[in-house]
Chain A
C-alpha cells in the first residue's frame, strides 16, 4: 500500500436494471492506487454487469463512476480506455484473423494516433510511432512470455496463453487500472498460482491498480488485498480476505443454508 492513498476508481450508488430485473443495485466501490481488489459472488450476481458499467459498455440506470474523482459515467468505452481503464473479457475476445503481435499492436493504436493519410503513406512521423508501438508490443509479449509465438494466430494458442495475450493486449493501451474478468477461468491449480504471481508482477512493474472478478477462491484469497462480494446484485460484504472467509453472509451465498 502506498503511503498516500490516492483514490483511483470509485462508484456511487451504481445501479443497473434490465426491465424488471435489477442486475446490480447500489454498488459502492473505492479502489486506492496500486491495490489489487477482488469482486466475487455466485453466478449471475452481477459482477460482469458491474464491470461493463465501469468500462462504459453499459450505461448505468443510476449512480456514477468516478475515475480519479472525475465523472466518467456514460462515456464511450474507447474514451474510457483512452483515459486509462483497460479490461479483459470473461469469454476471451481475441481478434480472430490476427497474429499474436497484431492483436497487441491494435491496442497500441491509441498511441499511434496519426491521420489516415499519414498512416497510409507511411510518412516519417507515423513510421516512428509505428516502430515504437512494435517495440513496445514485443516487449509486452516478452513480459507475458509469448514473444516466441508473435507470428502465430492468436486464437490458435492454448487457453492459458490466450488469457495472457488478452492481458498483454490490455496493457498495450497503457492503462492505470486493469480490470480482469475471471482471469483464471478454466485454468488448473498450477496455472492459477502462476497467474497470481503474474498479476502481482504486472502490478509492480506497470504501476497498476487491479480490479478482478474471480470464481477461484484460492486465486482471490491469494492475490487480493480487499474484496467485494455481490449476491443478486447486492453488495453483501467487503473487506480483507480473512474476514470475508468468515463472514456468514458470504458462506450462505456460496454454500446455501439449511
Chain B
C-alpha cells in the first residue's frame, strides 16, 4: 500500500485510462451485439443487464445494509405490472381482460415507456416503504421470514385483483420496450448510481449499520431510517428491474414472481460477493449465461449407448451445488466485499506468472 501511495500520480491516471478504454470496449461490444447476435443470444445478453439491475438492488439490502430480505420477487412483480398496465394500449387491454373487464380508470391510460418505467419504480418504492416501516423492526432470520411472507402476499394480491391485474391469466403481448439500448442504459445507470451511493455519506451509514448497529446508533446514525431508506431504494430498483423484465419477456403472470426468482437473484449476489458492486455485475453475467448454456441438461441427453430422460430442473441442481461449493470454499463469493480494481487485476496475473511468489499483501 505504502509503495503505491508514494507514486500516486502515475498509476491513477493509467488506471483511469484503462477504465475509459474498458468502458469504451463495453459500449462498442453492446452495439456490436445488438447488430450481430442472433435473436436468442441477444435475448440472453439483454437478460444479463436486467439481472445486473436486480442483483444490485438485492445487494444493496443484503450486502451493504446487512438486511437479509427474501421478498424481492414481490417488488419486481409490482414494477412489472405497473409498467405493463401503464404502457399497454386500450385495445390490447380489452383483448387481455376477457374474463373480467379492466377497471375503467386504467382502461385508457397509455403513456410512453420511460415515464412508465419511473412510475413503476416509484410505486414499487412506495410498497417497499409501507412494508419496510413495520418489518424492519425485525432482525436477521425474522426479517427474512417476514419479507418472504410479504413477497408472497404481494403475489397473492396480484392474483386476486382480477379487474386490475387480470389475475392468474396474466398479461400478454406487452410492448417490447426492453431493447438492448434500454436495458444496458438502465444497467449502466444503476451501476453508476450504486457506486456513487456507496461513496456517499449514506453508503457509509449503510455499511456502518451492517457492521455494528449499536455502534452506528451511538455515532448518531438513525439506524431505523437508514434501513427503511435502503429498503425503499432497493424496492425502487427491483421495480425498475421487474418492469424491464416484463417488457422483455412480453408476458407476465403472478407465477413468474415466486420465491424461485428471488432465489436466482440471491444466487447471483452470493456468488458475486455480498457487498461488492463489481462482483454482482460479473456474477449476473456469468450466471445468466450459464443458466442458458446449461439448458441442455434439462433435455433428454443422448449418450450414444443410452438416452437419459428429460429432467427439467437439472441445471438448477448444478447451480445449487455450485452455491454449496462456493459457501464451503469461498464464503465471501467471487469478489468478497472488495471492488474490482486494476491493481487487483494486475496482482492476479503477477501472482500467476511468479507462481506462488509472496506477493499477496492486503492493505
Contacts and interface: CB of A to CB of B under 8 A. Distances in A.
Interface string B200-235: 111011011011101111111111000001000100
B337 interface: yes
B197 interface: yes
A204 B223 CA distance: 32
Contacts of B1: 151
A160 to B, nearest CB: 19
B214 A109 contact: no
A109 B275 contact: no
A98 interface: yes
B193 interface: yes
Contacts of B210: 97
B196 interface: yes
Contact of A119 (B201, B217, B219): B201
B214 A95 contact: no
Contacts of B233: 116
Interface residues of A, number: 40
A97 B204 contact: no
A70 interface: no
Pick the most buried of A55, A93, A126: most chain B CB atoms within 10 A of its CB.
A93
Consensus secondary structure, chain B interface: helix
Given A95-B212, A95-B215, A120 B220 contact: no
Nearest to B213: A93
Contacts, number: 106
Contacts of B208: 95, 98, 106
Contact of A93 (B5, B197, B214): B214
A96 B218 contact: no
Interface string B1-28: 1000100000000000000000000000
Contact of B197 (A77, A86, A114, A120): A120
A130 interface: yes
A133 B196 CA distance: 17
A47 interface: no
Interface string A195-230: 000000000000000000000000000000000000
A169 B229 CA distance: 24
B207 A110 contact: no
B357 interface: no
Given A81-B218, A87-B218, A106-B216, A114 B201 contact: yes
A107 interface: yes
A135 interface: no
Nearest to A96: B211
Given A97-B207, A98-B207, A151-B363, A89 B215 contact: yes
A95 B201 contact: no
Interface of A: 55, 57, 76-78, 81-82, 86-87, 89, 93-98, 102, 105-110, 112, 114, 116, 119-122, 126, 130, 133, 151-153, 169-170, 172-173
29 contacts: A55-B218, A57-B218, A76-B217, A77-B217, A78-B217, A81-B219, A82-B220, A86-B218, A86-B219, A95-B207, A95-B208, A95-B211, A95-B216, A97-B275, A102-B204, A106-B205, A107-B219, A109-B219, A109-B221, A112-B201, A116-B229, A119-B200, A119-B201, A120-B193, A120-B197, A122-B196, A133-B201, A152-B363, A153-B363
